[in-house]
Structure 1
C-alpha cells in the first residue's frame, strides 16, 4: 500500500491537472493519482514524459529497453509491469525482455542496444558515464538521439525513485474519482 492515500481527481484543486492527464493518457493511473497531490508537478510530469515517449526520434524499442533496464536495476515493479508490454509492442522480443536483468551475458542485443544498456547502467548506478561508454553510444546515435537517450534514462530513474519512495503499486485499490 502506498505511503499516503492516492489523490482524488475530483477535488477542485486537482481538476485542472486531472483533465491534463486524461487528455494525454485517457485515464488516471496510480502514479498520476499520487502526483495529483501536487497539481503543477502532475501537469509538468505529463508534458515532460509525453515529450520523452511521443516526441522523440529515439526508437521506441531502444527507449523501452533502457526504461526496463532502469526498472530492473532499481527494483521498480510498477515501472517494469507498465513498460514490458510497451517494449514488446515496440519490437523487443520476449528473449530480449527476459534478458534485460542480465543483459551483459546475453547474446540477444545488437551493438547499439548494448551501448545504450551500458550507458543506462552507468547513469543509473554511478551517475558519471565513463568516456568509453559515452563514446560507444555516441558512435551509434545522432546528437539529438544521444540527448533523448540521456533524458530518457535520467527521467525514468526519477520515475522509479518516485514510485519506490512512495510505494506506489499497480494493484493498490484506488478510491473513486
Structure 2
C-alpha cells in the first residue's frame, strides 16, 4: 500500500529511530524514500549537511543557485523547500520571486548573477562556457567555486530523485530548514 502518488512505497526503515531524525525532522518525504538504501541515505545526508552548513560559499548565493536548479529541473519540492531555506539565510522575497526570470531582474548583485548564470549552464549544458566560468571564478575563491558547483550538481541529483519517485511536498511545517 502506497501513501500519496509515489512510484515506490516509502521505506519502513525510515520509521525506525535514526540519529538525525530527532535533530532536524529527517522523516521528510524524500528521506522516507531514500531510506530504502540506508548506506546511500547516510552519505547523502552527510554531503547535504556539508553543503548547507560547512562551506565558505555565501549561503544566499548557494540558496539562489539551488533554487534556480530546482526551477530548471522542474522539481516543485526543491523550489518550495529552498525558497524557504533561502529566506532563512537572507534571500529576499523579491529575489525568490525573480528567480524564474532572473536575467531581467534588478535585485541580484554581480556575484549572484554570475552564480545564477553558472547554475543555468551546469543544468543545461555539458559544462559551463568559458565566459560564464570565468565570470564566477573571478568573483569567488577556489573553495567557494567548488562548493557552488557541487551544490548545483547535488541538487540536480536531488531534483531528479524527487521527480523519478514522484515524491510529494509535505506540509510546510515539515520542510527541513
Do they superpose with TM above 0.5?
Answer: yes
Q: Say if 1:48 and 1:23 are closer, same or farther in 2 by CA, change over 3 A.
A: farther
| Unpaired runs of at least 5, structure 2 | 172-177
TM-score, length of structure 2 as denominator length: 0.89
Partner of 1:28: 27
Q: Is the 8 A contact 1:21 1:43 kept in 2?
A: no
Q: Is the 8 A contact 2:14 2:32 kept in 1?
A: no
> What's the offset of the Cα at 1:111?
0.4
Q: Say if 1:10 and 1:87 are closer, same or farther in 2 by CA, change over 3 A.
A: closer
Matching of residues 1-177 of structure 1 within 5 Å: 1-9=5-13, 15=16, 19-22=18-21, 25-171=24-170
| Unpaired runs of at least 5, structure 1 | 173-177
Q: Is the 8 A contact 1:3 1:166 kept in 2?
A: yes
> What's the offset of the Cα at 1:171?
4.0
Over aligned residue pairs, what C-alpha RMSD do you find? 1.6
Deviating above 6 A after TM superposition, structure 1's stretches of 4 or more consecutive aligned residues are none
How many positions carry a matched residue from both structures? Answer: 167
TM-score, length of structure 1 as denominator length: 0.89
Q: Is the 8 A contact 1:35 1:42 kept in 2?
A: yes
> What's the offset of the Cα at 1:20?
3.9
Q: Is the 8 A contact 1:21 1:28 kept in 2?
A: no
Partner of 1:175: none
Hey, what's the Cα distance between the residues in 1 that align with 2:124 and 2:14? Answer: 39
